[in-house]
Structure 1
Amino acid sequence: MRAPTVDRGHHRVLVVEDDDTIGRHLRTGLLSNDYAATWSRTGAGALTEAARSRYDVLLLDLGLPDMDGLDIARTLRARHPDLLIIILTARTDDIDVIAGLDAGADDYLVKPFSLSVLLARLRAHLRRRTVTSPPQDPIHLGDLVLDTTARRCLLNNEELRLRPKEFDLLAVLAQRTGEAVARETLMSEVWDENWFGSTKTLDVTMAALRRRLAEAAAASPPPARLPRITTLRGHGYRLEY
């Protein structure tokens, strides 16, 4: 049975967690920090709730009794492109993290985690989503065009769909083409200046971005001219064209 929704706070959060202790703790903690939180114990209940009401954030446990959490992430990402999706998982292998991000998640937290860490992550993501920038001219890198104002990425005039953080990561590098960009700079500008979580998120997102660019280039009429992202060990990355 789904816990009742309490309409309060500035952001609406849907918690999908089948563990009673964790679910109750998350909902209570979110409510006490001025979030409007709804708690669903099943995937089917979460899909029904998401269709009934608008949410800003989805906190999604992968180990649900009735559905695969990754399927829920894919479904809600397709229906709600602007929804912030954070996966809650006990899985720590890179392949599991990559699967979650590929399914449409923006971030992940490995259980067990503290409420303070979750709240910090939420503030970081939501703060970045409210920042507006003046219009900028599209960036041309061979056959790749990055329009940061429209948040569009084109390869040979075909839309290349990137997840929000993949787009942001590519944008930061593209705006500094040829420069060595430190990991700390990328974490600060793509995630948040006060980020204190694992930088593994950066590595996983970078790997996914590289894979999407390579797959798009392979599917595009040859020769597709793409920039190259070089790893600078001990420092960060450099985008070159």
Structure 2
Amino acid sequence: MKVLLAEDDEQLARKLLRVLHGHGFAVDHADNGEDALHLACTGVYDVIVLDLGLPVIDGLAVLQGLRGRGVDFPVLILTARDAWADKSAGFKAGADDYLTKPFLPDELVLRMRALVRRARGLKAETLRCGPLGYDPITGGFELNSAPLRLTAFETRILARLMLFREHVVEREKLFDATYEFQADVPQNSLEVLVGRLRRKIGHHMIETVRGHGYRLTAQNA
């Protein structure tokens, strides 16, 4: 899969490049909107990951320019803007999906793959662990085929556990993925959130592996 990553945050771009290369993707990187627009109009990509806050030409203008030129590659927007007005503007400009920072790199990969499958006329794969289902396109969960209402932090934790279902996720990595870019977070806050999740999906589905972390499992369902 060939990806265009348009992201000007150097630290985040390096991290995403490592993740995408680790999944075997070929990646072109642009750190400003002018280069992103040029690459997207002259190259062929399976999916474009586009930050809205790009310099020179902002991401929204890049997206409008692409669609205006007939470029129809799937576009996933990355942004720190979480207001509905910003999301609505992105979708109206032609975005296919929207991921708000901070986010899980593994969720980004899942959503990219789902967009590519959808663009090819294939159904996006729903991840399952027993009665629990996760849609990587919408980021929504269901339990016993009914929508599951979760907070943003609960969703981040459960998404991470779902990506590595039936395997132990180290506590430190789960903490970092949940509270990335945030400082002064109480150390026991993760345990509080896990406790709330257990009450919502069943205590038996999230195992504590002492000294290591947590495991989402359907073996006890």
User: Where does 1:102-121 land on structure 2 (aligned, <5 Å)?
Assistant: 102-121=92-111
Identity %: 40
Q: Compared with structure 1, are the counterparts of its residues 35 and 67 closer, same or farther at alpha carbon in structure 2 (3 Å cutoff)?
A: same
d(CA) in 2 for partners of 1:61, 1:34: 22
Aligned partner of 1:31: which letter? H
* 1:192, distance to aligned residue in structure 2 (A): 4.6
d(CA) in 2 for partners of 1:100, 1:23: 21
Length, aligned pairs only? 132
User: Where does 1:9-88 land on structure 2 (aligned, <5 Å)?
Assistant: 11-88=1-78
Say if 1:128 and 1:192, in contact at 8 Å, map to a contact too: no
- Gaps of at least 5 residues in structure 2 are 128-134, 141-221
Using the size of structure 2 for normalisation, the TM-score is 0.55
Aligned partner of residue 59 in structure 1, secondary structure: strand
* 1:124, distance to aligned residue in structure 2 (A): 1.5
Using the size of structure 1 for normalisation, the TM-score is 0.51
- Gaps of at least 5 residues in structure 1 are 1-10, 133-188, 200-241
d(CA) in 1 for partners of 2:33, 2:83: 23
Aligned partner of 2:82: which letter? T
Say if 1:44 and 1:67, in contact at 8 Å, map to a contact too: yes
* 1:119, distance to aligned residue in structure 2 (A): 0.8
Say if 2:74 and 2:119, in contact at 8 Å, map to a contact too: no
* 1:125, distance to aligned residue in structure 2 (A): 1.6
d(CA) in 2 for partners of 1:56, 1:97: 22
Aligned partner of residue 37 in structure 1, secondary structure: strand
d(CA) in 1 for partners of 2:11, 2:29: 12
Say if 1:73 and 1:105, in contact at 8 Å, map to a contact too: yes
